[in-house]
Amino acid sequence: MLDKRIIESIEFDNQFVKNLPGDPEKNNFRRQVEGACYSRVHPVKTAGPKRIIHSKEMAQDLGFSEEFCESDTFVRVFSGNALMPGMDPFAMCYGGHQFGNWAGQLGDGRAINLGEIITPASGRQMLQLKGSGPTPYSRNADGLAVLRSSIREFLCSEAMFHLGIPTTRALSLVLTGEQVERDMFYDGHPKLEPGAIVCRVAPSFIRFGNFEIFSSRGDLKVLKQLADYTIKTDFPHLGEPCPRVYVKWFEEICKKTCEMIIHWMRTGFVHGVMNTDNMSVLGLTIDYGPYGWLENFDPGWTPNTTDASMRRYTFGNQPQIALWNLAQLGNAIYPLIQDASPLQDTINEYHRLYQIGFNDMMAAKLGLSAFNPLTDDSLIQDLMTLLAMIETDMTIFYRSLAHLDIDHLPEDFSKSDTDIQTFARPLMDAYYRPQQIDTPYREHLKSWLEQYARRIHSDPLSVESRRKKMNHTNPKYVLRNYLTQLAIEKAEQGDFSMIHELLEVMRHPYDEQPGKETFARKRPDWARVKPGCSMLSCSS
């Protein structure tokens, strides 16, 4: 029995299933679902669920007490073994472009939405279990998830939130007590791994692909129903849905997506699978699969083994891929507007919005009061060239830049006795191969620092204000791939301590955190090509 005393204050609203057409088929088997936004389906029961960790901030936002989060009721509900009164679980129907090709119906293949609650702190929130069993959209898969991918999803969701990046959240990570077979690199070597379930939280999990599937089928009735529902629920400030409002809605999605991508580029985050079914209409980072954090600055790096040859979803491609995905969304909602010109105008505006946002972001990373195109275009481009010349840790370089005594840097090194490497000592820890610092690199670094010094000397910010701005923009701690892999390896042996420790560190990514410096170190050599550290697959 569920503890009624604990759950009596939790109110489920479930507007998605109340307002949109559902699948009339009640049986849970794989199939094409026509004319419906969702299919009702229940999570599978698990053998021996055990709570590993929960996010205290997320629980607090939901109005969940610590007593509830540590209770047996919590474990039962968020392992899929029980439903609270008012829950109405379902899986969404959507399609998507995967690696640039239309894939048809996809849908929630291993995610089951438990229901929407009205929270005291953050309004409407959807609770969703990932890895809780098959749905009509599971195709040939089992709908389950393993511990390694679930740890990555839980930790990254919360790390991104604390970095200030728009994201879905994670409430809990629960072991199922069962084994799941996975072939991690699709190379014919499957093995059994511990099963796990993450409870994800977002105001909405609606994606670009939710609209693409109905447009591709010519189902304009449901397309309009879904668009109108989304606007009324998540964009009510835009007004009553009509062609003019659909355009305004698309403009806002483009703006939110642009802002999200700029945050990714600021922190070195690489999503790895920017398919249209992994793009949120709320501009939230969604679906943490083979993501990665840029270690050495390499715009051509992707963490996804599936993308190793095509390299479509590399770090440097993310702004353009977001634009491509937005164009697919524009195509999908065109039937509601019947005029391509305002949609095209919005797509064209993305370039301007991105460049303005990127410039402002880079000015903040460099501690400038504002971007000045007369000086800063070349300053930023020269820095990008510098970072890519030798293996340079992006996170450490930018964080260390604030420690340079740039105000006392000679504006002309050629007339100074100052040695460039001595002056730039705070940056030295950012280099993976110090022996790569040859004469051409030293000359480029010297030239860039002279340019930077001239720019700083003309900027009105004080030394203290500049460093404060830089340290609020450039994190000291990011969820480095090798750190998560170490936590996974310990957890697979039954030791969950590093998951807790990582979550605590990532709660304060911009703070110095004395005693935690080990979590800010650059990738060790052993992790350079280690599975889970350098490249990952979609297998989870």
CA distance 473 to 198: 29
Torsion angle of C-alpha atoms 460, 462, 466, 468, degrees rounded to 10 = -140
CA distance 342 to 471: 40
DSSP state of 304: B
Which amino acid appears at position 366 of this protein?
L
DSSP state of 43: P
User: E-assigned strands of 394-509?
Assistant: none
Q: What are phi and psi of 118, to 5 degrees?
A: -95, 115
> What number of H helices and E strands is found in the chain?
18, 11
CA distance 463 to 402: 9
> Which residues sit opposite 50 in a β-bridge?
175
Do residues 290 and 305 touch, judged by C-beta distance below 8 A?
yes
CA distance 229 to 505: 39
The Cα angle at residue 386 between residues 380 and 391, in degrees rounded to 5: 130
Alpha helices per DSSP H over 289-438 = 318-337, 340-365, 373-389, 394-401, 420-423
Reply yes or no on whether 277 is catalytic: yes
List 88, 219, 234, 277, catalytic entry = 277
Structure tokens at 69: 């989060």
Please name the residue that has the structure tokens 């599971």. 138
- Report CA-CA distances (Å) from 181 to 65, 194, 218, 346: 35, 9, 38, 45
Alpha helices per DSSP H over 54-105 = 56-62, 66-69, 72-77
CA distance 179 to 218: 42
Residues catalogued as catalytic: 277
